[in-house]
Amino acid sequence: MNIIEVQNLTKEYGNHRGIFNLNFEVLQGEVVGFLGSNGAGKTTTIRHLMGFIRPQQGISKIFNRNSFYDAAYIQENVGYLPGEISFLDNNMTGNAFIQFMAQIKGNVPKDRLNYLVDYFELDTSIKIKKMSKGTKQKLGLIIAFMQNPSVLILDEPTSGLDPIMQNKFIELLKKEKLKGKTIFMSSHIFEEIENVCDRVLMIKGGRLVTSQNIEDLRNNRQKHYTITFSNTEYASAFARLYPDSICTQNKVSFLLCGNVNKLLGELGQYNVKDILVRNQTIEEIFQQYYRGDKNDIFIDEERA
């Protein structure tokens, strides 16, 4: 059953900004990552889902209801983490704000609330204005999860969290997933969502680039290698083995998926000074799946 459904969703802000003809759906119990660089249209899409803005064309639905006109019904059953961290009243303490939100939401189990506060190790006695960015993010997460909603919509949930908290958050998401929750979360970092999502939607320039099963993505995932040889002759000789590689002086860079043993075997014949392996950047992942206007990719490469 589709919990979230987006059809032909369009909102133009001029200057090619906005979202254009988005189509996707999220099934019940599915955890979907929404991946895109800054300004790609992630937050605009989420604002439509939350009924904050009205589409110019198309429709967005949650629980098969129009997310703009039935916002109050939908909102009651959706936990939302805004991308921008700002709270109603910075003079409130964390605890006062949590209690207020519990009252206004009205359906918050007390033990759940206590569990979340303990889990995120939030000191609720300090005023919001004194909190660090990460602490505020934890507060936002507690608010989003507090009423035990069946659907979670999270806009860049890990931003500001330290690595330990990020892991704890991922663990919490996994638990929620086991309970059958439907989760839609945006991010601009692939690694952040690959551990928990079933599927990834990629958005670029307001258009959906691809929708990929996480397993397929992981299997096709290339790594970026930069190998430094002891001299330029070795480098250019090695570069011939990888036609797509870029050779600059004694360095060779290329993308590779799997085949590490083969590579190690080949490298054994040369004098190698250094090997640098890194994950693909989001732009590189996009290029792999991008089927649209080629010029667009070149522009991005130049910028990079």
Partner 1 sequence: MIYSLMKKELKSNVKLHVVFFSIIAMYAITLVAMYDPTLKDSLKTLEASMPTVFAAFGMQNIGTTLIDFIITYLYKFVLIVTPFIFSITMCYRLLAKYVENGSLSYLLNTKHSRIKIAMTQWLNLMLGLVVLILFNTILMILCCAVLFSGELDIPKFLLLNFGLLALQIFIAAFCFMFTCIFSEIKYSIGLGGGLITIFIIMQMLSQVYDNAKILVYCNPLSLFNPQQLVNGNMMSIFNMIILWVLSIICLLIGLLEFRKKDLSL
Write out the residues near partner 1 by the rule CB under 8 A.
Answer: 47, 50-54, 71-73, 75-76, 78-80, 82, 84, 86-89, 91-92, 100-101, 103-107, 143-144
Nearest to 52 by CA among 14, 24, 13, 80: 80
Q: Smaller CB distance to partner 1: residue 6 or 78?
A: 78
Closer residue to partner 1 (CB): 22 or 101:
101
Min separation Cβ 120 and partner 1, Å: 17
Tell me if 105 sits within 8 A of 148, measured CB to CB: no
For the bound state, the minimum distance from the C-beta of residue 135 to partner 1, rounded and expressed in Å, comes to: 16
Q: Which is nearer to partner 1, 75 or 95 (CB)?
A: 75
Does an H or E element contain 204, and which? strand 199-204
Sign, CA torsion 298/299/301/302: positive
Q: Which is nearer to partner 1, 104 or 164 (CB)?
A: 104
Contacts of 49 (CB under 8 A, 6+ apart): 4, 6, 60, 62, 67, 153, 184
CA nearest 132: which of 171, 161, 103, 173? 161
Distance of closest approach, residue 76 Cβ to partner 1, in angstroms: 4
CA nearest to 204, candidates 54, 4, 22: 22
Closer to partner 1 by Cβ: residue 125 or 295:
125
Of the candidates 146, 144, 127, the one whose C-alpha atom is nearest the C-alpha of residue 89 is 127
Q: Count Cα atoms within 13 angstroms, Cβ side, for 300.
A: 18
Q: Give the nearest distance from C-beta 55 to partner 1 in angstroms.
A: 10
Report, in Å, the least distance between residue 256 CB and partner 1.
42
